[in-house]
Chains A and B, each alone.
Chain A
Amino acid sequence: MAFLLKDLIKKQAPLASGHRMCAGCPAPVIVKQVLMSTDHPKVCTNATGCLEVATTIFPFTSWKVPWLHIAFENSAAAVSGVEAAYHGLANKGELPEDMKNAKFIAFGGDGGTYDIGIQALSGALERGHNMLYVCYDNEGYMNTGIQRSSATPIGANTTTTPVGSQSYGKREIRKDLLSIVVAHHIPYAATCAPHDWMDGMKKSQKAIETEGPAFLNYFSPCIPGWKIPADAWRKLSELAVKTCFWPLIEVENGKWSLTGESKRIADGKAEKVPAVEFMKNQGRFKHLFTQKKDDVLALIQADIDRSWDFYRKMAGY
């Protein structure tokens, strides 16, 4: 189903303004895309992270849906509990009329998903709860002061991988979370980028309406963490897809496919842009250009090529 902006504007925005996310942070846009993709009643849980601390500073909340905050590691565990309780109430016939056919959505940052929350996520996926887990991946622990996480790309300058004469930033490659999630043989998993909102909303709708666990990994540029201007997220999100740093992938019942711009690149209808185009305007990669670390840039390009080849092969190209 296509989404038309002229229909969407008539709906109530799921996240009220007045939250204290940084100016220009795309995470509220991601929440908007996910929650507006369906008209079912929704219940959300949120792992500790930027989104949680900034949207619910007591006594204010920006959420217009029932919402539960839970510790860093167990957003997925909490949403499975809420979902089980919902079925318990439904069996007893005690469900309020306006909560029939409710959908359950967990939000977590990359720290709460890739690192700390991965056992809860794995457990929830294995138990097969009817829920959607959305990871907004800003590639680091941005809220606690820009520490590296296992989603941080190689070469990035963070406070725990600082740049110096002996260090060029993070040395390890990113974790491939999508493959880990797909290895649970769940019905739906995908990656999205917020600039391609139509693709993101279609995937969100599919993920929410799929029976059983679903997973979305959303790209989310971080203004202070990546040291970029406040209006840069859209352009960076677009470049991440064009450079194949963040390919748009969909995995339905084990069948991999590419979507949007990534599909066009794989089909040969669009050029794959070199990774330096994506990195050159970001403060976290600035040292690679000022110190002329061409070997590290080559390392990053090789890592992107390797993962792109893998995804392309999985999608049958």
Chain B
Amino acid sequence: MKEQKKSWNELPIGGSILEAGNSKNYFTGTWRTFKPVHNAKLCINCYFCWMHCPDDSIVIENGKVTGMDLDHCKGCGVCAEVCPKKAITMEKEEK
């Protein structure tokens, strides 16, 4: 994470950010107290969790929910709340 900051004359004029969506390189997963655990056996792939996730952290591969992007998930628990099959449970984060 630690990187050399650019000096004033190397920055884009007006403080523009030229790379779209580069916040992906900032990891908000460290905020989490509870982590979502996905149970693929119960999941019916309704994608409600994907629609309700504020952090775009539901990983979908070939039309199937495969898990959570724990680098960015803040552990709010909306996915577990909205899941009609209780396929997502919130578990305490432990070292």
Contact = CB atoms under 8 A, between A and B. Distances in A.
Interface residues of B, number: 38
Nearest to A33: B51
Interface of B: 6, 15, 17, 19-28, 31-32, 46-48, 50-57, 60, 63, 69, 72, 74-78, 80-82
Nearest to A20: B28
B24 A16 contact: yes
Contacts, number: 115
Task: State which size class the interface on A falls in.
Answer: 35 or more
A61 B21 contact: yes
Interface stretch (A23-31, A95-103, A115-123, A173-181): A23-31
Given A6-B63, A61-B23, A17 B72 contact: yes
With a 10 A CB-CB cut-off, give which of B17, B63, B69, B82 has the most chain A CB atoms.
Answer: B17
A13 interface: yes
Given A5-B46, A18-B25, A230 B76 contact: yes
Given A16-B23, A18-B27, A231-B81, 6 more contacts: A5-B48, A13-B56, A15-B56, A22-B74, A28-B56, A234-B78
Interface string A110-134: 0000000000000000000000000
A60 B69 contact: no
* Shortest 6 CB-CB contacts between residues of A and residues of B: A24-B76, A18-B23, A16-B21, A23-B74, A231-B77, A17-B72
Nearest to A61: B17
B76 A17 contact: no
